[in-house]
Amino acid sequence: MSSFRILFIADICGKAGRQAAAHLTKPLREKYSADYVIANVENAAGGFGITSEMSRKVFSYGVDMQTSGNHIWDRMDILKYFETKPRLLRPANYPQSVPGCGWYLDGVNGTKIGVLNLMGRTYMKDLDCPFKVADRELAHLRKETNLIFVDFHAEATSEKQALCYYLDGLVTAIVGTHTHVQTADEKITKRGTAYITDAGMTGPYESVIGMEVRPSLDRFLTGMPIRFSTASEDVKISGVVIDANAVTGEALSITRFKEDFDLKSFGNKNSEEDDD
């Protein structure tokens, strides 16, 4: 049996998250002997969006594919970048007329892997139905490969669980993103799909989902529009590792990870990451 290992890096948040990804992606890839690395990058630029320069840097860390979510349009220079970088995905259930693409078929040493990016609608933007869009896009991908990874960027746990049942056995993995809080419900379904409600966050954990605590508290206490800034303390990199049958696409295992990152242990080498 030919196996294939996917390393997924959870939502990279702000400068601290980029620093962690810059220093730890290649060591983690080597540690887990990963064949393919995917990272969600929609919060890479100060917690809101990603710039073209940052996306290029993330690829240089050892990432093969970048996924995103509702913040993908927050930095306007990304629109033209989509024309040149199909390996940066936006959710497939945005209208087909908008820039970018929601899925990509890639090849690794003779093995084809499909990556599909979807976004939920519950408590989020009213986009096309992610369930029906998944039907449409999987019709293309499954003609080429059974090895398919889905990043489902959604708020509601119920919507993520529902998509798992809807696509059970049709995809290799459904990994939830967006909430920045890693859940402990990873599993392999009866039909062989790996699932976790949320893979967590790569960034500062002394925070409110990556943002500084005081402004976050003030916004809850006052209801006023207060500017958020990304935090910088207690930085961690998190995500999941998924093993699958490269031919059938059946998931064999899913393991979540969360590792500490201390920039000082790397000699404060920070030339790779400018301020947000």
CA dihedral 212, 218, 221, 224 (to 10 degrees): -120
Among the listed residues 23, 71, 178, 180, the single catalytic one is 71
Q: Count CB-CB contacts under 10 A for residue 150.
A: 29
The question of whether 71 is a catalytic residue gets the answer yes
Distance of CA 267 to the CA centre of its chain: 28
- Spatial neighbors of 267 by CB under 8 A, at least 6 apart, are none
Residue with tokens 């919060």: 43
Question: What are the start-end ranges of the H helices in 39-112?
Answer: 52-60, 78-81
* Burial of residue 264 (number of CB atoms within 10 Å: 0-12, 13-18, 19+): exposed
Catalytic residues: 71
